[in-house]
Structure 1
């Protein structure tokens, strides 16, 4: 854990909000993620399940959280089960949470070792009617691996078939979508670390640099500032590579005159930032590159004005499409006939801008949030319009992270990251 300890009041408040949405006489269970093997005795770095982290702050494997707000035994209304630590584990793996440290982290007083779970769980199951299970229902989820949570659900249904089952995910989708001020501060820290990385590479990029060298400069700065890693797989796409939406090879040499599209960002304390910037390899944009860049930037600024309470993402995306259509007409990439004859299910602008403009951001880069429901204050969204022109050998995408406000335009968490052409050129040629 590189990040500073988070104020446990965040997790206490999150648990209170979740419990207030539960059915009477029900309990909810949340499991940590597995550590996944890569082969032989090697494993992937551990990534905590975001839901148990959101509710407890516990950031280690083999952890279980149980919430039972109506439990007759007050001691069992909040329970953490943890892997028991010992001197051997401390030597080989490093220190794990003690019961005292778990309380300091989460605010949960009742902490048992996992060896006691079956006994304690049987007791509280005899006192409840319904169990909230935690399944992944994110609209972009595509899960092919059986998780620790999946195995627990199978065991639960087999062992306690008479209990009713409810879903945690709809509650969490709504709760996690609206950020606590402490969460916004953590996302801001991730954005600030991303800014440090971007400013570093503005001084670094020159003709003939390799994309992976730029990646190395970013991760150097991120880790130096207490980020554990990139928030998602970094995209560093020079020239025509920018027209591959999920280009992640990052193994080409950057040529004079080309642009580099960089979609990457730091995480901090499991919270994501999400940035895209497009810069010239030679330190100066061509006139055509400027035209397209400024068009994308105008779309981004107009889109921001629509991220307001009461709007919803489908309506918002349709309106952004109209703005983009106007810009593409101005760039002579579309003509009036293209628009008049367009397929409503795949509008003409989709030829050059085929993805969405915004998504929820938080503990996950594509965070929880029900996209058909109205936006609310303190939701955090990305704004990432783009224009991809394979026939001209470049693509431009720009992206900031913003917080929806009660009134007025959203607050830009990336307000200090250079984006205007003049500032980028000045910094690259200083």
Structure 2
């Protein structure tokens, strides 16, 4: 891994929190992700399943975590199963975790090779009544591929049909949404790397540059700072492309007078950051562009203040809608009649601001978190309002990442990344 080793005490704490929520006489199993094929002998780069990483720190394929807190023998309460490594694997694919190294990473003393998994699990199952399966129940999930976890769950339920089945996901949704201080430090590091990439761009962008050249500059800066790269597919949308919310082609030339909407951010140690900025290709905003820009910035700043303990996600978005309505009226994009006659299911402001303002952030860019429950301290949210005007050939989105505090305004992890229009102009024209 490129990142510095994480203190294993984080994963020890995470396991303790999870096991404290398990039913008596139960066992939970977590699988690593598959390595997905492309064709021939080509594969996609490995990405670890975030749940097994959260609970163990293991960032390696073909790994399984088993938790059984009520097992009668201590060595069966926390177990890791890994693919046995050897000299051949080390030569062709690099070193894999040894049992000793796995303990250093995870704090788990009982580390076995995968060939011992079934017989050891059989013993554990004789002590248990309930098995926790790890299904994907994120509100944005739309997975069509059968995962390693899916295959295991099918096998496990068929093998032990007399056991009760419970779900790990509701527990993880709550636990993962509230960050430990170590996690906040890792997310701050991801934001710091993102800042370096963004500042690099401010001196690089000029009329005639290609969107993919900007992407290349960012990737260079991210990787040289120990990131794997982008936390999600980068959006580098010049001119009218900014009105495509998930524009990813990044293949157009940036022209004088246009704006570039950048939704780009680095990961660090599997933790995401999520940045949006909108900059002028020429280094200067027009008066109209700046007016819209400042309207978006005002909405972002006011919305941020609402992210406090007790806030409900749905009500928060209704309040942000009111802020945006006021700004769109001031810009002349909608009028009072539009508001009076609006459909409550699709308010007038949605014509120019059609997406949500905030989502949980963490190990996943759209991270775990139960949206029906009130916000709590140490949750991390994006704040990302936007105004998109196809008729005028530009769109603007601004986004920061903030930590909900026990009291007062959230803490902005991106506080050092330039966002004021005047500062961006000044930096671009140095």
Any residues of structure 2 matched to 1:23-422 within 5 Å, and which? 23-422=23-422
Q: Deviations along 1:260-305, whole A, 9 cap, x unmatched? A: 0000100000000000000000000000000000000000000001
TM-score, length basis structure 2: 1.00
Query: Deviation of residue 127 (structure 1)?
Result: 1.0
Aligned equivalents of 1:125 and 1:372: distance in 2? 34
Which residue in the other structure is 2:22 paired with? 22
Q: Deviations along 1:80-99, whole A, 9 cap, x unmatched? A: 00000000000000000000
Which residue in the other structure is 1:7 paired with? 7
Aligned equivalents of 1:35 and 1:186: distance in 2? 25
In structure 1, the residue corresponding to 2:10 is in which secondary structure? helix
In structure 2, the residue corresponding to 1:242 is in which secondary structure? helix
In structure 1, the residue corresponding to 2:241 is in which secondary structure? helix
Query: Deviation of residue 312 (structure 1)?
Result: 1.1
Aligned equivalents of 2:362 and 2:153: distance in 1? 26
In structure 1, the residue corresponding to 2:395 is in which secondary structure? strand
Query: Deviation of residue 45 (structure 1)?
Result: 0.1
Aligned equivalents of 1:45 and 1:289: distance in 2? 40
Q: Deviations along 1:120-152, whole A, 9 cap, x unmatched? A: 111111111100000000000001000000000
In structure 1, the residue corresponding to 2:372 is in which secondary structure? coil
Query: Deviation of residue 119 (structure 1)?
Result: 1.0
Query: Deviation of residue 23 (structure 1)?
Result: 0.1
Aligned equivalents of 2:152 and 2:89: distance in 1? 25
Query: Deviation of residue 229 (structure 1)?
Result: 1.4
Q: Deviations along 1:205-238, whole A, 9 cap, x unmatched? A: 0000000000000000000000001000000000
Aligned equivalents of 1:39 and 1:380: distance in 2? 38
Aligned equivalents of 2:68 and 2:420: distance in 1? 52
Q: Unmatched 5+ residue regions in structure 1? A: none
Aligned equivalents of 1:341 and 1:18: distance in 2? 49
Aligned equivalents of 1:22 and 1:124: distance in 2? 15
In structure 2, the residue corresponding to 1:396 is in which secondary structure? strand
Aligned equivalents of 1:156 and 1:69: distance in 2? 19
In structure 2, the residue corresponding to 1:195 is in which secondary structure? helix
Q: Unmatched 5+ residue regions in structure 2? A: none
Aligned equivalents of 1:118 and 1:134: distance in 2? 18
Query: Deviation of residue 420 (structure 1)?
Result: 0.2
In structure 2, the residue corresponding to 1:79 is in which secondary structure? strand
TM-score, length basis structure 1: 1.00
Aligned equivalents of 2:233 and 2:409: distance in 1? 30
Aligned equivalents of 1:144 and 1:206: distance in 2? 41
In structure 2, the residue corresponding to 1:261 is in which secondary structure? strand
Query: Deviation of residue 165 (structure 1)?
Result: 0.6
Aligned equivalents of 1:357 and 1:337: distance in 2? 25
Q: CA RMSD in A?
A: 0.3
